Structure 1
């Protein structure tokens, strides 16, 4: 009986311990589910799901040169995207730091060492357009350079492989504000421009931007997507834009386009769009997606979007950065989500200068330069 009693006691003890462990596990699962439910409650589903308006296959630049359909660059001076969005604004006297930015003062005191010698320099392009909007990307064997409203392809020794070409050589129009990327994980070049209410995007059909053709897509937005910026992530190409300044928390300002289908010329490629909840802006603004630039792609999902928040703006109490995460479901695109923002506090900084105006950096001669404000500069790199 003692043995049996011992066994019984042991059984009771083990049962109680297992019961407590089970209850603890249930509580952990319960709280985890609650946290997941809270996370789900704070997520917002995609508010836009569309298929590309058009997909056309454009012959290679080399073949266009050979058959006489190549369109040379126009050497004209004109203003692209003449829409005026207004200067950035702040609340006078609000925000830290007071006076001159201490980080800027510290940087001015740093002893500067000799710069490293440049490996190669050459003049790639000149333009009388305003703004010039130069952009470019380097692959294993090519440098693709673009500007308003043209592009040119070089080898990596600085030798031109084409004449300067109009963007109309690839796109159905020539509206400017190009962005060039090299997608190293697919070994493809990517070039874009905006049109009145949307994006024109071309992906090379192979690694050679001269001798390979192009898949050219058009995706529509519900308003003009100024200052579009692109990035490569595991599950999509991501786009942000200076769009709907008065309602970025309820209008689509972040987009994901179906990278896998675009690389294969599939006309059914989709685009999903999201607002940025709890964002504050002061006029012109530019959130950014993170661009993969390492040796391997990260796992699909949780694509980060980042933007600064300056305490000199109305509605911002302390300087910080906000970080959103996008999860795209290409099987059921309407179930794609964007998270509420995480807040990363920073030391005090100034995101505006010269009263927030454009044309704010004087040159020795000529008109002032437009240094963008309230902007995290492109690209935000992920390794």
Structure 2
């Protein structure tokens, strides 16, 4: 085993402890658990470069590294009940009437012999971080890889079994990366600065079953769900403490009440909040239910609300679920040749690949538009029972004020030009309410390839109106096994909140499993990044009580949507919002700092090229 150069906190011993608190609303125990390991790394540039192609070919069975759970799920799928839905009732038949622009940036991600690679990627103001089952790396936004990368997952996370996830925490301007030690530990690292090539604080938390994790950021919580238990067990972590490098950062563990996983493979998801401003209120956790599953009478989506005050984590609560009726669907696609996972056709081979049934595709995003909140999600469905041709059922949920989540729109997206399968979708919304969705397509004439589509806000509900656009064409078929992947990821660029970035696997040339990273827009608006002329810009800040502040930026050199941040003197950001131009001559915004401590703060407003700042005093 190679020696690591970590800075350990010699004066702090971190011990695991568990406390129980009663959740009065659902009569369940809340477990509060401390990390069993904590350390601070050297800068990532000090660790050796890693070549993922040096790792021998390895299949990563579903259920982590153990084939027993994979067999368990396979046995269930073989015995799964017949779906009452014979034909998907909301297959998109309306033609797409808006031409898509080609991808903006489109470059190769990590290539390895891992089967599958399970790529995830997140984007910040200046970097893209991608993770796979064999390694992780950092790019700039034109696809240039950072010097000294890729790195082994063990640098900085320590040894583990993969299923890595990366998130960009835009409110803190930090990065989160993770992997698991199967059925033993969650390993999570948070960057100590906006630079992912710098130092990280690393936490390890004990766990039972922890397969197929799905992480999200919501308010002051990092939340993870996954294939953990038939009771819908999930975990949340003290985000503020982890950002601050506090070795006592707690994890809480609860179960979802009235939960039905349907199979032995459980995969609910936490809502991941994207957009300016930290999410407030409870964290939604989302899951769908198929009436082919035991005990489920109608097809529907469930939403639970998780709430925790980290000054009293033992008082965390999880609500009973809201059931949201949706159009009938069939979430099961049978296998072939004795392989329960071999369902999607490929050209030139009898080998079929796994569409990833009975799960929500990663991620489930939440957005706050002021007048309402939205959640978008997608999962694989069989279009005609027994056809082994998949589509993507997608939905937008909405909530107004303190009301419940309700279905706003739904659709079943299918191959618009033939009878191929579309699967492994990533879906998101931009700041205008437009939806982008990227996916894998494979079938009798299409080798596994990557595409995207979308719709503009105001278009006919339930319809992806943007013509399918190619990201990269597959040039081979998988012939050695049915495992294709459990993860892809679509995220929104924090610079303009209009650009989507997508990573997934496709079938490239011989010599390893290929991943791709690409960006695209659905919006017709093209936001330039003009210089904010400092010589002709004036930031005026007024306040009558030193708690509520009115900001006016006089400027005629740009019409960009600007980013407004307020930092305390330690560099911690306490406000992050986007500001549209009020008139041709100025930007105007009011901010409420009544909840922060008294002291000196720095107000900063600008775009990715230039910023103006000024000190204020909060009393």
TM norm structure 1 = 0.80
Counterpart contact for 2:81–2:293, Cα < 8 Å = no
Which of 236, 239, 246 is residue 256 of structure 1 equivalent to?
A: 236
Residues 140/94 of structure 1: CA separation in 2 closer, same or farther (3 Å cut): closer
After TM superposition, give the deviation of residue 294 of structure 1 in Å: 1.4
Alignment match, 2:165: 179
Q: Which whole-Å CA distance do the structure 2 matches of 1:330 and 1:338 have between them? A: 15
Aligned pair 1:277/2:257, yes or no?
Answer: yes
Q: How does 1:165-314 map to 2 (within 5 A)?
A: 165-196=151-182, 197-210=184-197, 212-221=198-207, 223-244=208-229, 247-248=230-231, 253-283=233-263, 284-299=265-280, 301-314=281-294
After TM superposition, give the deviation of residue 330 of structure 1 in Å: 1.7
SS of alignment partner, residue 90 of structure 2: helix
Residues 136/241 of structure 1: CA separation in 2 closer, same or farther (3 Å cut): same
Q: Which whole-Å CA distance do the structure 2 matches of 1:93 and 1:176 have between them? A: 34
Alignment match, 1:328: 308
Alignment match, 1:137: 122
- The 10-residue stretch of structure 1 (84-93 or 267-276) with the greater mean CA deviation from structure 2: 84-93
- The 10-residue stretch of structure 1 (314-323 or 351-360) with the greater mean CA deviation from structure 2: 351-360
Which of 86, 110, 121 is residue 73 of structure 2 equivalent to?
A: 86
Alignment match, 2:90: 103
Counterpart contact for 1:91–1:314, Cα < 8 Å = no
Residues 91/169 of structure 1: CA separation in 2 closer, same or farther (3 Å cut): closer
- The 10-residue stretch of structure 1 (170-179 or 230-239) with the greater mean CA deviation from structure 2: 170-179
Cα deviation digits, residues 187-234 of structure 1 (max 9, x gap): 111110010322100111100111x2001110111x221100100011
TM norm structure 2 = 0.51
Which of 44, 56, 73 is residue 61 of structure 1 equivalent to?
A: 44
Alignment match, 2:113: 128
Cα deviation digits, residues 120-169 of structure 1 (max 9, x gap): 11111212111210111111111111111101111111111133221112
Q: How does 1:362-381 map to 2 (within 5 A)?
A: 362-365=345-348, 367-381=351-365
Counterpart contact for 2:83–2:330, Cα < 8 Å = no
Max Rg structure: 1
Counterpart contact for 1:307–1:321, Cα < 8 Å = yes
Counterpart contact for 2:267–2:359, Cα < 8 Å = yes
After TM superposition, give the deviation of residue 279 of structure 1 in Å: 1.1
Name stretches of at least 5 consecutive residues in structure 2 with no aligned partner: 1-22, 368-619
- The 10-residue stretch of structure 1 (264-273 or 322-331) with the greater mean CA deviation from structure 2: 322-331
Q: Which whole-Å CA distance do the structure 2 matches of 1:256 and 1:281 have between them? A: 20
Counterpart contact for 2:118–2:132, Cα < 8 Å = yes
Q: Which whole-Å CA distance do the structure 1 matches of 2:110 and 2:104 have between them? A: 19
Bigger strand fraction? 2
Q: Which whole-Å CA distance do the structure 1 matches of 2:235 and 2:346 have between them? A: 37
Counterpart contact for 1:155–1:161, Cα < 8 Å = yes
SS of alignment partner, residue 76 of structure 1: coil
Residues 365/154 of structure 1: CA separation in 2 closer, same or farther (3 Å cut): farther
SS of alignment partner, residue 169 of structure 1: helix
Bigger helix fraction? 1
- The alignment covers a number of residue pairs equal to 328
SS of alignment partner, residue 121 of structure 1: strand
SS of alignment partner, residue 255 of structure 1: strand
Residues 55/317 of structure 1: CA separation in 2 closer, same or farther (3 Å cut): same
Residues 340/126 of structure 1: CA separation in 2 closer, same or farther (3 Å cut): same
> How large is the RMSD of aligned CA atoms in angstroms?
2.1
Counterpart contact for 1:147–1:177, Cα < 8 Å = yes
Counterpart contact for 2:55–2:134, Cα < 8 Å = no
SS of alignment partner, residue 232 of structure 1: strand
Counterpart contact for 2:123–2:168, Cα < 8 Å = yes
Residues 292/111 of structure 1: CA separation in 2 closer, same or farther (3 Å cut): closer
Runs of at least 4 residues of structure 1 off by over 4 A? Answer: 69-72, 88-91
After TM superposition, give the deviation of residue 344 of structure 1 in Å: 1.1
Name stretches of at least 5 consecutive residues in structure 1 with no aligned partner: 1-39
Cα deviation digits, residues 305-335 of structure 1 (max 9, x gap): 1110111111100111111111113222222
SS of alignment partner, residue 242 of structure 2: helix
